[in-house]
Structures are given as structure tokens and as C-alpha cells.
Chains A and B, each alone.
Chain A
Amino acid sequence: MQDNQKPTSPSTAEFQREVAELMIECLNLEVTADQILLDAPLYGEGLGLDSIDVLEVALVVSKRYGLQLRADSADNQHIFSSLHSLSDYIAAQRTR
């Protein structure tokens, strides 16, 4: 937890929890935010999302935080690999 550079934004842990809750709400997942492991894969094993679930998360996240997700971004695979990387990406790129 070393992210102290943005005093107005919530702490990393709080923000990861917020993203987890957003995912749970948008997909009607039957887990709690605590049960989503930070580094477990979102796809397949791990949280068990399929590609359409992940798309849904992408759409909701981009709307909520004002992100521009691009189809030709080579980073997409990494961004959506875990809650950890997704939260980091949003925190860095959010416009609202």
C-alpha cells in the first residue's frame, strides 16, 4: 500500500474493493468483495468469468470512470487479467 501520491483519491485497498463491488453488482455474482482474490485471474479458473462477462465489466467500468478502452490496445489482456491489474489501470487512467 504505497500509493500516497494522490491524496484526493481513496487508498488502493479501498479502491480495489470498490471495483470488486462494481463487478459483483454488474454481473450479479454470488460472492462478496472479500472473496475476489486480488491476483486471481478474472477469466476461466479463478472468478470464472467468460468473455462476455468481461466485456460487460469493461463497458461499466469505462462509463463509471470515464475511461477510453481501445480495441487495438495491446495491454487489454493484462488489464483484465486480475482485479489487481484492473484497479491499477482504472486508478491511473480515470477521468472522473
Chain B
Amino acid sequence: MTSNTTSSHATWAQTPERSNRLMMRVMTWISLRLGRRVARSVLHLIAVYFLLFAPSSRRASSEYLRRALGRPARWRDLYRHFFTFAATIHDRVYLVNRRFDLFDFEVHGEDTLRHLLAKGNGLFLMGAHLGSFEVIRALGRKDTDLRVAMLMHEENAQKINAMLAAINPEAVQDIIGLGHIDSMLQVRERLDSGGAVGMLGDRTPGNDTLYPVQILGATAHLPSGPLRMAALLQRPVVFMTGLYLGGNRYAIHFDALADFTHVARAQRAAAVQAALLRYAALLDQYCRKAPYNWFNFFDFWQSAPTTTLPKS
């Protein structure tokens, strides 16, 4: 970690969220009106559509898959990547509707999570645009002692809340909008009552200090905000991802990422940096394990201004 910079209005801040929302809206409608089997066939059309008519997403996918697979990506790889994305977004609709019976979940590392939750001080669950986050929230809804509130940027939170309200009104309260002092205090209250607060740590929608890390053999820049908040509130952070394995199968993974419980202010910056490296290593590990689950359809490795990269 030799340099850091502040992002502002990176190009992906506009494009991928827009296509995500469009995809989600289309899929919600199809899923609820036509049922899972019909909807699944539509997913193939959507994957083809993206493959043909979203050249920038296709380029990003191709570039990413080359790194993750260790060979040039073929058309079928790109297709599978888009299909996986569409499938996980589609399944969100059923998960929010508590149709857990439709799925087969395997859960890894649940003891890590349970052990930390049992302490009663709450924890952060840190994910990424890797696999499905909704799968993990489903795990929380299935048993009552795991309550996950999702922390996300205000603008996205409002749109997703509106969407969730249409599918299942009970889902709405599980989101905390990021960006105000109030939301931070809400996070603290959630943690104080022993709850889990979820966040995605691989993108930042606003201004945040970025740190260079190595993922899949190249330098990428990760926002430090989520881990800084965890350090400030002195809580443990558990990495989590819900990898889509095809059909109706998901593998949910929990890995200890950092524990800031006893980190004093003077050690905080170093502890946050160490945690960012660990987060990057986990992203690397799961990208290689389940390559088609990476849902950052923009040039993740070039998203920071090149002038800030350390000269070598």
C-alpha cells in the first residue's frame, strides 16, 4: 500500500447500477407474472441480449474472465457470466418472498459467524458484487436470531426499497441508507442490539479514500470506508458471499476478515489496511473458485485514475 487516492464520479458510478436496475425490474415482472420455469428461459434471452448489445459490459467480462480463468475467455464463457448474473438477480425475487424451499444452500463457516454473534455486540458482514447477497439475507430470515440490515448508498437504497416493497413489504426495514450521521447512528444501534450489518466493500458510490491491492494478479483499488467504519465502531467483520453454483444451488461462505473490537485509535489505520489486504485476498480466492460470480461489469482494475498509481 504505497499510495491512496480519492475517487470521484468514476464512470461505473452511473452505468452498471443503471443496467442492474433495468435487469432487476424486467426480471421481477417476469418472475412474478410467469413463474420460475418460464422466467428461467427468459434469462437465456437476457444473457444473449447483454452479450450482443452491451459491448462495454462484454469487454469488462472478457477482461475479468481472462484474469480469473487464466486463459482468454470464449463466447460461451461470456454467456455463462451474463447468465449467472441474470440468474442471481432473478432468484432475489423468490428469496425476498421467502421461497427458500426452491433452493439448495450449502453453508460454510457458519460456526465463525455464530461464535461472533453469540457475543452480543453485533458484527459487520462484508460482501462484494460477487455472487448473491440476498441468499445470505434469506439465511437471516429463516432463523430468527440472525438479523441482517443492509447498509447501502441512499440513492440505491431508496430504489431497492421501492422494488422490495412491491415484492414483500417486510423486506424494506432491512436496509439502512448510507450517507448521513443518522444512518451511522442507526448502524451503531443495530450493532448494540446484537444485530449484523451487511455492506458491499468493493465499490464506492461517492468520495472515499481508495487503496491499491492485488486481485487476480493485477492492481485494483478498494474503498476504505466500510472497514474504517467497522474499525471506528470496534466490531468484528465477517466476509460473506453466496456463490451461485448453477440450477438451484448456492454455496454460502463466511470467513473471519478482521476483528476491531480491541483496536485502539493509534492502531486503527494499520488494522484497516491489513483488513483491506485480507478482503482483497478473499475476493481473489473466491473469484478463482467461482469465476462467473463476479458482477462488476466495468474495468475494475482501471477504475482509479492512473496518475495515482505508484511509479515502478
Which residues of A approach B to under 8 Å, CB–CB? Answer: 44, 50-52, 54-56, 58-59, 69-73, 76-77, 79-80
Contact = CB atoms under 8 A, between A and B. Distances in A.
Most chain A CB inside 10 Å of its own CB: which residue of B185, B186, B207, B225: B185
> What is the interface of chain B mostly: helix, strand, loop, or mixed?
helix
Interface residues of B, number: 18
7 contacts: A51-B181, A54-B184, A70-B185, A71-B185, A76-B180, A76-B185, A79-B181
B171 to A, nearest CB: 20
B195 to A, nearest CB: 13
B263 to A, nearest CB: 14
Nearest to A26: B265
A51 B182 CA distance: 10
Contacts of A70: 185
Contacts of A51: 178-181, 183-184
B145 interface: no
Interface in B182-239: 182-186, 188-189, 206-208, 225, 228-229, 232
Nearest to B209: A50
A72 B179 CA distance: 15
Nearest to A72: B182
Contact of A54 (B181, B207, B228): B181
Contacts of B178: 51
Nearest to B179: A51
Contact of A58 (B185, B189, B206, B207): B185
Contact of B229 (A55, A69, A77): A55
Given A50-B206, A55-B232, 12 more contacts: A51-B179, A51-B184, A52-B184, A52-B228, A52-B229, A55-B181, A56-B232, A59-B232, A71-B186, A72-B182, A73-B182, A77-B182
